[in-house]
């Protein structure tokens, strides 16, 4: 029989995915963490694998699924949390933007499975099944061998129980609870995930009615975590939005690294922290390093008609400035210096830009009134501090940039200016 006669769709899937095979699994298992350090691997979305010198292997929000896979009927499920949040009905085109490169069934050891909340992209039935079926064991703080625990807020525990995880394996946590896993101390903290507040158990006709009701208890739906490790204290914010309460966490704990869910938001919706929010979170937490996550499954891309919309590029030093304008010649603009790549949208162009931009590749937006305020109140070489943070350009992924950029005064007209290196 010829080779092509043996090839099927199933054999192709098994032979190709995950694309890295067990490469990353082997790397995680073989890596010896030096004393006084901690090793971390970002595994997509908000999933992080933590490993310590004491042999602790802890996963937080490990998700083995995918984003949208079909256009379907083009409609969002009535009662979906995004529909509840902003009233939208069109399906979100949030595709997974990076390949899934681990084989969760190839891992031999984990010591704890943590979830910040119960949304489907933060929990994995596949990972839970492997941990249970493989009989993984760990040790408690007294050195006794125990089955690997599943740790999360009430709603996450309810989800695990529905999947078949034994009740004795689950530990429900609320802010203030502390759990010791080998040489990691896990502290549950308040979450600020307002999307969780408008999430119902069902998206069908039997769903919970939210109209004119006080929001449900956040502590039952979501928590943040502080992981105290030999290499430093790590803050995992799950899907939290920005909250001034981050400042209390920053005062109560010495935080070295903070993970935050980043993504610019569609009109009418606040589901991720923007670049500005990520910076504000870092400042409030007083952390030394901030790392944006979740942007890889938050790709919103929509093509719109570009009538009366032109693009001109100019070279400024080693960078190219792309100027999009509506009905005016770009030659009328005076551009002198721009230090860091950024995106500014003013006036009528903002609606068009919001429709075509990839949310993880965009910058701050202001309307014409805000632009006029800036023009009146900022000097010719004023430093705009509030726009420090996560700036991206072209196809590059979101990267933290803790630098200031200078903006020259432009004429009060409606332009989008995008600088790419």
Domain ranges of the chain: 8-297, 310-420
Condensed to tens digits (0 to 9), the pLDDT of residues 302-312 reads: 433 333 333 33
- DSSP strand E in 298-414: where? 310-316, 319-325, 343-345, 383-384, 389-391, 399-401, 405-406
Condensed to tens digits (0 to 9), the pLDDT of residues 374-401 reads: 333 333 222 222 232 332 333 333 323 2
86: closest CA among 159, 221, 195? Answer: 195
Per-residue pLDDT at 300: 53
Q: How far is CA 377 from the centre of its chain?
A: 34
Task: Please state, for a pLDDT cut of 70, what percent of the chain lies above it.
Answer: 70
Condensed to tens digits (0 to 9), the pLDDT of residues 219-253 reads: 999 999 999 999 999 999 999 999 999 999 999 99
Query: Do 249 and 173 form a contact (C-beta atoms < 8 A)?
Result: no
Per-residue pLDDT at 330: 35
Q: Which region among 45-54, 83-92, 125-134 has the lowest average model confidence (pLDDT)?
A: 83-92
Structure tokens of 46? 């908000």
pLDDT of residue 203 exceeding 90, the answer is: no
- 338 in helix, strand or coil? strand
Under the banding of pLDDT at 50, 70 and 90, the label for residue 317 is very low
Condensed to tens digits (0 to 9), the pLDDT of residues 145-180 reads: 999 999 999 999 999 999 999 999 999 999 999 999
- What is the mean pLDDT of the segment spanning 200-228? 84
Question: Cα–Cα distance between 100 and 66 in angstroms, integer?
Answer: 8
For residue 309, count other CB atoms closer than 10 A to its CB: 16
pLDDT of residue 90 exceeding 90, the answer is: no
Condensed to tens digits (0 to 9), the pLDDT of residues 286-304 reads: 999 999 999 888 665 443 3
Per-residue pLDDT at 109: 97
- What is the mean pLDDT of the segment spanning 198-217? 77
- What is the mean pLDDT of the segment spanning 70-79? 84
Per-residue pLDDT at 316: 35
Is pLDDT larger for residue 142 or for residue 122? 122
Per-residue pLDDT at 89: 80
Condensed to tens digits (0 to 9), the pLDDT of residues 352-381 reads: 433 433 333 333 333 344 333 333 333 322
Per-residue pLDDT at 200: 82
Condensed to tens digits (0 to 9), the pLDDT of residues 3-42 reads: 898 999 999 999 999 999 999 999 999 999 999 999 999 9
- DSSP strand E in 163-210: where? 170-172, 178-181, 184-190
pLDDT of residue 215 exceeding 50, the answer is: yes
Task: Please state, for a pLDDT cut of 90, what percent of the chain lies above it.
Answer: 50
Per-residue pLDDT at 50: 98
Per-residue pLDDT at 85: 77
Question: Cα–Cα distance between 260 and 282 in angstroms, integer?
Answer: 9
What is 8-297's CATH superfamily?
A: Ribonuclease Z/Hydroxyacylglutathione hydrolase-like (3.60.15.10)
Secondary structure of 55-123 in the HEC alphabet? CCEEEECCCCCCCCCCCCCCECCCCCHHHHHHCCCECCCCCCCCCCCCCHHHCCCCCEEECCECCHHHC
Per-residue pLDDT at 299: 61
The whole-model pTM stands at 0.71
Per-residue pLDDT at 269: 76
């Amino acid at each position: 029989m010829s080779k092509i006669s043996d090839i099927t769709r199933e054999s192709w899937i098994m032979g190709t995915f995950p694309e890295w095979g067990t490469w990353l699994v082997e790397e995680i298992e073989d890596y010896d963490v030096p004393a006084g350090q901690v090793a971390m691997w970002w595994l997509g979305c908000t999933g992080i694998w933590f490993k310590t010198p004491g042999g602790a292997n802890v996963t937080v929000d490990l998700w083995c699924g995918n984003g949208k896979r079909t256009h379907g009927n083009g409609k969002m499920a009535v009662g979906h949390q995004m529909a509840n949040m902003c009233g939208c009905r069109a399906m979100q085109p949030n595709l997974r933007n990076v390949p899934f490169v681990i084989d969760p069934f190839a891992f031999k050891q984990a010591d704890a499975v943590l979830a910040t909340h119960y949304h489907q992209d933060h929990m994995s039935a596949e990972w839970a099944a492997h941990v249970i079926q493989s009989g993984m064991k760990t040790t408690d703080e007294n050195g006794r061998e125990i089955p690997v625990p599943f740790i999360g807020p009430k709603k996450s525990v309810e989800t695990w129980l529905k999947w078949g995880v034994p009740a004795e394996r689950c530990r429900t946590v609320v802010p203030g609870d502390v759990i010791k896993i080998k040489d990691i101390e896990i502290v549950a903290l308040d979450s600020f995930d307002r999307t969780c507040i408008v999430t119902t158990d069902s998206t069908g006709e039997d769903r919970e009615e939210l109209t004119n009701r006080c929001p449900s208890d956040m502590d039952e739906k979501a928590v943040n975590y502080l992981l105290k490790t030999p290499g430093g204290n790590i803050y995992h914010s799950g899907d939290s939005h920005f909250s001034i309460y981050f400042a209390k966490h920053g005062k109560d704990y010495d935080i070295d690294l903070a993970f935050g869910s980043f993504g610019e938001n569609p009109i009418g919706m606040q589901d991720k922290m923007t670049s500005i929010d990520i910076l504000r979170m870092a400042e409030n937490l007083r952390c030394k390093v901030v790392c944006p996550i979740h942007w890889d499954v938050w790709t919103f891309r929509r093509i719109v008609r570009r009538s009366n919309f032109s693009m001109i590029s100019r070279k400024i030093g080693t960078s190219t400035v792309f100027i999009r304008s509506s009905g005016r010649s770009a030659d009328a603009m005076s551009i002198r210096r721009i230090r860091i790549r950024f995106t500014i949208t003013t006036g009528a162009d903002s609606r068009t830009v919001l429709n075509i931009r990839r949310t993880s590749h965009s910058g701050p937006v202001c309307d014409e009134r805000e632009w006029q305020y800036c023009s009146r109140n900022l000097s010719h070489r004023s430093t705009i501090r509030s726009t420090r943070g996560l700036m991206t350009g072209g196809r590059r992924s979101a990267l933290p940039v803790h630098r200031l950029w200078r903006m020259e005064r432009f004429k009060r007209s409606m332009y989008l200016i995008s600088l790419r290196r």
